[in-house]
Structure 1
Amino acid sequence: MPNVLDPNFSHGVTYICEHNDEGAMGITINRPLDVTLGDILDHMKITCTNPAIRNRPVFMGGPVAMERGFVLHTPHGGWESTLEVTDEIGLTTSKDILQALADGAGPARAVIALGYSGWSAGQIETEIAENTWLTVDATPELIFDQPVDERWTAAARTLGIDMNLVSGEAGHA
């Protein structure tokens, strides 16, 4: 919602990858860092000479464990460490997916992120009840195809909401 002041989440779009009795974790998909996939590949000593691959943006997946890499992608593939989020979307943390991306053989669509967003048990439910977050059904098109700078407004539009018309101020009657 517009009234969220935390810079990690203000106007953020976070795709929830896992939600259970222990809490929730997600990847923010609209906060590009000043880092490219090429920077990550160089750091991991993975060779890639394709500029289109090297110049792919890396996102701040969230403020937790910024030293850890995550690849949100479709289709699943046969990567070493993948959480199958849906029938179409996976979240992989193993180096083999980066090697595949560098080789041009990675998943068709991917968001590469450093860090993740995490909530303890019951925390996200409380924040949703307090109208901190809008919740929408995510689609691969919203996650992977929508221009990054339009993901926040596009997500709200799926609910019929124009974020330009939503105030960050609360009113009381």
Structure 2
Amino acid sequence: MSNLMPGTLLIADPFLKDPNFARSVVLLCEHQEEQGSFGFVINKLYDQTLNDLVPDIIQPNIPVYFGGPVQLDTIHFVHELPHLIEGSMQLLPGIYWGGRFDQVVALMNSGQLDVRKIKFFIGYSGWSSGQLQAELKEKSWIVSEASPRLIFKEAEQEIWKSSLRSLGRDFAIMANFPIDPSLN
């Protein structure tokens, strides 16, 4: 699969050295040839929770993920709740991006929002026009399809390996490569 579109997963090659993206899985939310691409790293926990970052949230310990190194002063979210969150954009069946954040806060504080069906990110991953295509030619990324199960149910420390294993035997072998082969 090389067709980049919303809902595409970018799985980091095991040898990708960039510390922002080593063993990362990025959910692509937008891709336009002329304007570039952006998405969120879905498998790297951030060191603060949502109520640390947004004092209006009264529910404790809601995880936030490191969406990427761009605009670390912004919070984004993907979810499975379009019937509750106005302004959501469908990425794939069962996966939605964004919506009214004030509505999310109110629903969370009133206990009407299942936090297992929403994932929050600080920052995002962005590529200028042609940059992502160049990284794909360099084989920095393996392209796959997202699923709600992978994004919302899989433990973050297993997402990278599970994503590779889902692509078949050749990729499953890559899932077991050591982080630093020289230490083997």
Could you tell me the TM-score, scaled by structure 2's length?
A: 0.79
Aligned to 1:150: 158
Aligned-residue CA RMSD in angstroms?
2.1
Aligned to 2:50: 37
Aligned to 1:77: 83
Aligned to 1:102: 109
Could you tell me the TM-score, scaled by structure 1's length?
A: 0.84
Aligned to 2:133: 125
Gaps of 5+ in 1: none
Structure 2 contact 50–63 (Cα < 8 Å) conserved = yes
Gaps of 5+ in 2: 1-12
Structure 1 contact 24–118 (Cα < 8 Å) conserved = yes
Determine if the alignment matches structure 1 residue 65 to structure 2 residue 77. no
Identical positions, percent: 31
Aligned to 1:28: 41
Q: Measure how far apart 1:82 and its partner are.
A: 2.8
Q: Measure how far apart 1:99 and its partner are.
A: 2.7
CA offsets 1:53-91 (integer angstroms, 9 cap, x no match): x21211110111111110111132353543322232111
C-alpha separation in 2, matches of 1:76 and 1:168? 41
C-alpha separation in 2, matches of 1:5 and 1:59? 20
> What stretches of structure 1 move > 6 A for 4+ residues in a row?
166-169
Q: Measure how far apart 1:103 and its partner are.
A: 2.4
CA offsets 1:92-145 (integer angstroms, 9 cap, x no match): 163222332232223551111111101111211221121100111110001110
Number of residue pairs aligned between Structure 1 and Structure 2: 162
Aligned to 2:21: 9
Aligned to 1:18: 30
